[in-house]
Structures are given as structure tokens and as C-alpha cells.
Amino acid sequence: MPAKQLTLPSPAKLNLMLHILGRREDGYHELQTLFQFLDYGDEITFAVRDDGVIRLHTEFEGVPHDSNLIVKAAKKLQAQSGCSLGIDIWIDKVLPMGGGIGGGSSNAATTLLGLNHLWQLGWDEDRLAALGLTLGADVPVFVRGHAAFAEGVGEKLTPVDPEEPWYLVLVPQVSVSTAEIFSDPLLTRNTPPIKVRPVPKGNSRNDCLPVVARRYPEVRNALNLLGKFTEAKLTGTGSCVFGGFPSKAEADKVSALLTETLTGFVAKGSNISMLHRKLQGLL
Ligand SMILES: C[C@](O)(CO)[C@H](O)COP(=O)(O)OP(=O)(O)OC[C@H]1O[C@@H](n2ccc(N)nc2=O)[C@H](O)[C@@H]1O
Ligand SMILES: Nc1ncnc2c1ncn2[C@@H]1O[C@H](COP(=O)(O)OP(=O)(O)OP(=O)(O)O)[C@@H](O)[C@H]1O
């Protein structure tokens, strides 16, 4: 009997660097970025229904049911595969929204992989990643589950294996709109492409940082605080700020200094997504 119910992780990602090379005619930006996963994220539970209905039972503040990337992913997969089954979905949401750690994209990818398994569709990774790209630029890397150097709008992925330090991730209490940052006239959009592979060490800049730091004092504060202990970086378009440490104990020590107004979490960097580690265990 095929499984009817499944609980899967939906990890966060970090952008270890992010260069903006230019802007395409459709307004999207050409990037070079390095994605690594965190062993930290949401958990999504799926239960198959026979009537074709897709229902997310957990409410999200400010996100209507049908706009949720989980529901969008499930509906697209159902329509394109012609599957007659439906799904009940619950999520334990811990990832901040608009934090630049890819929560929505990761939820979409976990949904695609979870339903491919439960509905027994037999889609391969290329097909799932292509569908994922129609949901968001960051979805394909979560579908593939390997740390990657990304080009194009983020969809041309080359697997990489950077170091896997412990990170302290600060979560400023502000949600940054990705679209807003990418439309800021002051954004650097002409960084020359890195042509050498693997990407040489020292390329850790995020071109979004100056614009985000200018607009959001909360992000500026987080960068200043963490910068006292390690190189403080911005992930994606923020708001989250992170720094690497050689051990959990050292990351915890800095984390203990955080105040009530600036919270965060400690998590291990991982080149294989915990979603894929769990799925491997099921097969
Ligand atoms: C900046 C990153 O977080 C880096 O990982 C991602 O590229 C953003 O990925 P995402 O949140 O999945 O973004 P999407 O939902 O596809 O796009 C949100 C908005 O950001 C802008 N956008 C996004 C990605 C990109 N390469 N160029 C852009 O200009 C577009 O205005 C778009 O309307
Ligand atoms: N399942 C979901 N989880 C989180 N956000 C969702 C979801 N579905 C839709 N959204 C919408 O997408 C927006 C961006 O969410 P997300 O958590 O992916 O931001 P992010 O971490 O900045 O992403 P990225 O790093 O990909 O830019 C949210 O503000 C919310 O309105």
C-alpha cells in the first residue's frame, strides 16, 4: 500500500554571496549567487484525499489561502499531471516571511516533492524544477537539494560544496519586499561576472546590502551588532543577517548576547538539504 500521509522538512537557505550583473527586458535581474541550506526550517504534513480537493489547514497572516505558495504548487502539479487525488496540508511555520531565507520557495519545493511521492507521479527532478521556476526564482535550488552556484535569474545551477560552518542568523523584526529592493534606482546592477570556477574565496559581497541597509534601520543595527564578532552578511534581499562560526558553542555564545528586540537562531550550514536527506531515507 502506498503511503497516505507524510511529514517533511522545509529548510531555509542562505545566499553566501549575491552579485547583480544586469537587468533583463522583463525586469528580472541576472544574478550570480551561492546558495547553501540550513538545518533549520518548517515542517509540512501532507495527507492524501480521494476527492481532488487541495486544502491548506494552517492560516497565514496576510496570505490568502489560494495565494499561498504551498497551495499554488499543489494546484499546478495537480493540473499538469492530471492527477485526480487531492491533499490536506498542515505546516509548522518557524521561518520568518520576507526574511531572505527562502521560506515560501522552500515550502513550494517541499510540496512539489512531497506530492510527487504521495501521488506517485514519478516526475523527475528536471520537470519538478521547471515547474518550480514558474512559482519563484528560488524554488529550483530547493527542488534539487544541493548547495549551488546560481546564474541567470537563479535557475542555472551548478552544485558546489562550500564549508559547512555553524551560523548565527539574526531576524530583524521587519519584512523586506524583494520586488521593492530590485526596483530601487540605487541598486548596483553592473557587477562584472565571475568567470573563474570554482568561485574564488573572498567573493562574499551581497549587492543588495547597501540599498537594504539604507532603507531599514533594523537591518543596519543587526549588521552592526553581528559585525562586532564575525563578518556579518545579508541573505537575499534581507531582512535576515548572518555570520559563520567554527563551532555551535561559539555561535551560541554570541546568540546569548541578543536582546529581546533582536532575536535570532543558530543552525548548521548544509550542502545537502534536510528535505532530501529525509526523502532518501524513505526510498
Ligand atoms: C534575491 C533572491 O532571494 C536570491 O536568492 C531571489 O532571487 C529572489 O527569489 P524569489 O523570492 O523567489 O523571487 P520571485 O518571487 O521570483 O521574485 C520577486 C520579485 O523580485 C524581483 N526579482 C527576483 C529575482 C530576480 N532574479 N530578479 C528580480 O528582479 C522581481 O521584481 C520579482 O517580481
Ligand atoms: N508558504 C509561504 N511561506 C512564506 N511566504 C509565503 C508563502 N506563500 C506565499 N508567501 C508570500 O511570499 C512572501 C515572501 O515570502 P518568503 O518567506 O519566501 O520571503 P523571503 O524569505 O524573502 O524569500 P526569498 O529569499 O526567496 O526572497 C511573503 O511575504 C508572503 O506574502
Which residue puts its alpha carbon closest to atom 18 of ligand 2? 104
Q: Which pLDDT belongs to residue 202? A: 85
Report ipTM (2 d.p.). Answer: 0.94
Residue 212 has pLDDT above 80, yes or no: yes
Query: Any catalytic annotation for residue 13?
Result: yes
Residue 81 has pLDDT above 70, yes or no: yes
Least confident stretch, 58-62, 79-83, 201-205, 216-220? 201-205
Task: Kindly state the average pLDDT of the residues 24-35.
Answer: 94
Do strands 86-92 and 54-56 pair parallel, antiparallel, or not at all (unpaired)? parallel
Distance CA 253, CA 282 (A): 36
Instruction: Please write the tens of the pLDDT for every residue from 232-283.
Output: 999 999 999 999 999 999 999 999 998 878 899 999 999 999 999 999 988 7
Residue 140 has pLDDT above 90, yes or no: yes
pLDDT, the chain, mean = 96
CB 142 within 8 A of CB 114: no
pLDDT band (50, 70, 90) for residue 60: very high
Task: Kindly state the average pLDDT of the residues 28-48.
Answer: 97
Residue 124 has pLDDT above 90, yes or no: yes
Q: Which pLDDT belongs to residue 1? A: 61
Better-predicted residue by pLDDT, 9 or 258: 9
CB 50 within 8 A of CB 16: no
Task: Kindly state the average pLDDT of the residues 110-130.
Answer: 98
pLDDT band (50, 70, 90) for residue 35: very high
Percent of the chain with pLDDT over 70: 99
Which residue puts its alpha carbon closest to atom 14 of ligand 2? 98
Residue 208 has pLDDT above 90, yes or no: yes
Query: Any catalytic annotation for residue 248?
Result: no
Instruction: Please write the tens of the pLDDT for every residue from 149-203.
Output: 999 988 899 999 999 999 999 999 999 999 999 999 999 999 999 998 888 888 8
**Exposure string over 105-141, b if 16+ CB within 10 A, otherwise e:** bbbbbbbbbbbbbbbebebebebbbebbbebbbbbbb
User: What is the pTM (predicted TM-score) of this model?
Assistant: 0.96
Query: In ligand 1, which atom is closest to the CA atom of 153?
Result: 26
Of the candidates 39, 42, 72, 138, the residue annotated as catalytic is 138
Q: Which residues line ligand 1 (CB under 6 A)?
A: 15, 27-29, 31, 33, 100, 105, 136-138, 153-154, 178-179, 182, 236-237
